[in-house]
Structure 1
């Protein structure tokens, strides 16, 4: 049985994924574009007042602020699922180095060292084939 926290996380994950997909759709872009057009056209009726400017500024700021967290949540889940699939492929391939499993936990400097080792290995294999 799932706990209340697990249910909340699951619901938030589903919501974040849905919003992330929907916000990248053509419909979302057209809707946002039309809102900006309507706002721009309404400018003369409001004498381009500070309130008129504040409407678009406040609206976009709030939406962007919330979208950052929603998209990041969806991105974190996508990254984790890709990483798990890659780890499974590396672990199941007899020719792969198992040291690459869980490489994302290394520092960037450690990754560069591994990259250099692999590059040297590939270059030496190319020389042997030539």
Structure 2
């Protein structure tokens, strides 16, 4: 099972890297243009439409899982790096692992941080970063 996960992770990373390249976008545009040009030759038939609809649906469906896997790993790696920075700095260590809190606990923590920032003359709303711009 471990080999399958490792294979899928490598595959997902490769596909995510490839799908983000400009040449991949150009290739997709060329495929769509070729399909559109083929329309008159096939009389704009239902089969002609079905080809592009089926192809794009299948690709989209599969890409959701591949890109989500890649995003999940990136997020976990980023969180591990942030945790290491917190542990290595003078920041409060209780912030390590807060990504596992439920929504209500996170909102309470954000409110407490807002209150602390207001008391220090700063506003978290005006700063850029993961806390800024929240609702």
TM-score, length basis structure 1 = 0.89
- After TM superposition, list the pairs within 5 Å mapping 1:1-20 onto structure 2: 5-20=1-16
User: What's 1:99 paired with?
Assistant: 94
Aligned pair count reads 122
Give the greater-gyration-radius structure (CA).
Answer: 1
- Name whichever structure is richer in helix by fraction: 1
User: What's 2:55 paired with?
Assistant: 59
Quick one: distance in 2 between partners of 1:47 and 1:118?
A: 63
User: What's 2:107 paired with?
Assistant: 112
User: What's 1:83 paired with?
Assistant: 79
Moved over 2 A (4+): none
Stretches of structure 2 that go unaligned for 5 or more consecutive residues are 123-135
The Cα offsets for residues 33-88 of structure 1, whole Å up to 9 and x where unpaired, read as 00000000110100000000000001111111110000000001000000111111
Deviation at 1:117, TM superposition (A): 1.1
- After TM superposition, list the pairs within 5 Å mapping 1:36-75 onto structure 2: 36-75=32-71
Q: Which has the higher contact order (CA 8 A, sep 6+)?
A: 1
What SS does the corresponding residue of 1:126 show, helix, strand or coil? coil
